[in-house]
Amino acid sequence: MSDITTEEPPIAIESPTVSEVETLADLWVDLARGQREYGSHLRTASNREFVRDTIAHQIASGGILVARATANELSEIVGFVTFSPESGQYDQDVTRGVIQNLYVVPERRDEGVGEKLLAAAESRFATAGIDVVTLDAMAANEAARRFYRRQGYRVHRVELEKRVENDNKTRQDD
């Protein structure tokens, strides 16, 4: 009797096409929705149009890569990373690149897809002369923080937050 194993389709990291903007916007909404459980204030559906336009710009500028699961003739996006050089106005002693978003669909996590996406973005930064890469993770998202530590990222800055008392009612997410 032989063991039957099902292998996941191989992953290719590449630039997306403009025809994939809607798919990527849907994946971003999934990312934002998932981050709300860790305290993110990003609204999901109400930001979709802005995100769609941003993704279209990132495709044109080369600031987004996708992970594709390729099996036979079929191809499915299973993750993405968005990145760009930091555009601050302060003179610094390093040139920084920023990873804005890194997302892998839940059913493909823990297979190295995120590592491949992150490494590809870092490689693009290195080619562009970027010295340091920065990114944010929600403080309560221990799995993400553990993943980034394994990739060599260390705490550099800490953001603190406090709610203020006021008479405004808190709006619910869409």
Q: What percent of the chain has pLDDT over 70?
A: 91
- Domains assigned to the chain: 11-150 (3.40.630.30)
Range in 6-15, 56-65, 83-92, 109-118 the model is least confident about: 6-15
Q: What is the pLDDT of residue 6?
A: 56
Say how far apart CA 162 and CA 18 lie, in whole Å: 40
Give start and end residues of each alpha helix (H) in 66-161: 113-127, 142-150
Say how far apart CA 78 and CA 92 lie, in whole Å: 36
Residues near 65 by beta carbon (within 8 Å), at least 6 away in sequence: 13, 14, 15, 16, 80, 81, 117, 120, 121, 124
Number of Cβ atoms within 10 Å of the Cβ of 172: 6
pLDDT (tens digit, 9 = 90+) per residue, 16-56? 999 999 999 999 999 999 999 999 999 999 999 999 999 99
Say how far apart CA 31 and CA 64 lie, in whole Å: 15
* Mean of pLDDT values over 88-106: 94
Residue 90 reports pLDDT greater than 80: yes
pLDDT class of 75 with cuts at 50, 70, 90: confident
* Mean of pLDDT values over 46-72: 95
* Mean of pLDDT values over 83-97: 92
pLDDT class of 81 with cuts at 50, 70, 90: very high
11: left (phi over 0), alpha (psi -120 to 50) or beta: beta
Say how far apart CA 66 and CA 78 lie, in whole Å: 8
pTM over cut 0.85: yes
Residue 168 reports pLDDT greater than 80: no
* Mean of pLDDT values over 95-104: 97
Q: What is the pLDDT of residue 170?
A: 56
